[in-house]
């Protein structure tokens, strides 16, 4: 089990950038894949990005590919999501999550979750 705390959300204009961070506690962090998900009002939680424990493999949803980048620092127990060229449709609560594998990239495969951080993109 890992405990996760997100930060870095906020209000930004369309075309702008934000960097989300997730701080993890627990010795299991470096052995776990880490993901970012988001949930907009009235919508289901959706996959955004995942990175394997080593950092060698990353996966990004088609909707964010080329704009968002997931990264991790195992020495600091952190994972980040750099978000560029933000669009109003990126507005959502963003969650950091941990799993043993990126696997199917489904939320049900992730057992530990942070409390979420709000990202709002104005047009």
Give the max Cα distance, the chain.
Answer: 41
- pLDDT of 103 reads 84
- pLDDT of 104 reads 84
- pLDDT of 87 reads 98
Q: Are 72 and 78 in contact (CB under 8 A)?
A: yes
Whole-angstrom Cα distance, residue 66 to residue 13?
19
Q: Who's near 37: CB < 8 A, 6+ residues apart?
A: 45, 46, 47, 48, 94, 95, 97, 107, 110
Q: Are 78 and 26 in contact (CB under 8 A)?
A: no
Buried b or exposed e, range 58-67, using 16+ CB within 10 angstroms: ebbbeebeee
pLDDT tens digits for 63-107?
A: 999 999 999 999 999 999 999 999 999 999 999 999 999 988 899
Q: Using CA of residue 52, residue 27, residue 95, residue 106, what is the dihedral sign?
A: positive
């Amino acid at each position: 089990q890992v405990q996760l705390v997100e930060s870095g959300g906020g209000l930004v204009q369309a075309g702008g950038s934000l960097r989300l961070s997730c701080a993890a506690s627990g010795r299991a962090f470096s052995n776990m894949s880490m993901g970012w998900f988001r949930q907009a009002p009235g919508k289901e939680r959706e996959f955004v990005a995942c990175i394997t424990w080593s950092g060698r493999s990353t996966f990004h949803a088609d909707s964010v590919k080329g704009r968002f980048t997931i990264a991790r620092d195992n020495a600091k127990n952190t994972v980040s999501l750099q978000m560029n060229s933000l669009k109003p449709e990126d507005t959502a609560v963003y969650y950091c999550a941990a799993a043993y594998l990126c696997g199917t990239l489904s939320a049900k495969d992730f057992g530990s979750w942070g409390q979420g951080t709000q990202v709002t993109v104005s047009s």
